[in-house]
Amino acid sequence: MNLQPFMKDKLMKTVLVFKTSISNKKDVNTIRPFLNKLIDLNGFWNFDLEDCDNILRVETQMVEANLISTTLKYQGFECEELH
């Protein structure tokens, strides 16, 4: 019995949390195309701009934290993974 197709759909998502300098909707709209391109189809991301650390929360199966933080930094924003 081949369980590979079943297992592919059941991969665990990783939740990554970052402190960022993204502080308003204009900043979110600037970074949106980059995050959409990075995050896999089954993934999800959002910002909590009401938090003092302007939290970025990412749920993904494939993307590593350093790629997300590097992408934001390349676009001129601060981004630090919180552990």
Q: Please write the tens of the pLDDT for every residue from 68-82.
A: 999 999 999 999 999
Name the pLDDT band for 8 (thresholds 50, 70, 90): low
Spans of all domains in the chain: 11-82
Query: Which whole number is the average pLDDT over 6-18?
Result: 74
- Phi, psi angle pair for 82, to nearest 5°: -100, 135
DSSP type of residue 10:
T
User: How would CATH label the architecture of 11-82?
Assistant: 2-Layer Sandwich (3.30)
Q: Please write the tens of the pLDDT for every residue from 31-78.
A: 999 999 999 777 899 999 999 999 999 999 888 999 999 999 999 999
- What are 10-13's contacts with CB under 8 Å, separation 24+? 11/61, 12/61, 13/42, 13/43, 13/59, 13/60, 13/61
CA pair distance 1, 56, nearest whole angstrom:
40
* Dmax (CA) of the chain: 51
Query: Which whole number is the average pLDDT over 17-31?
Result: 97
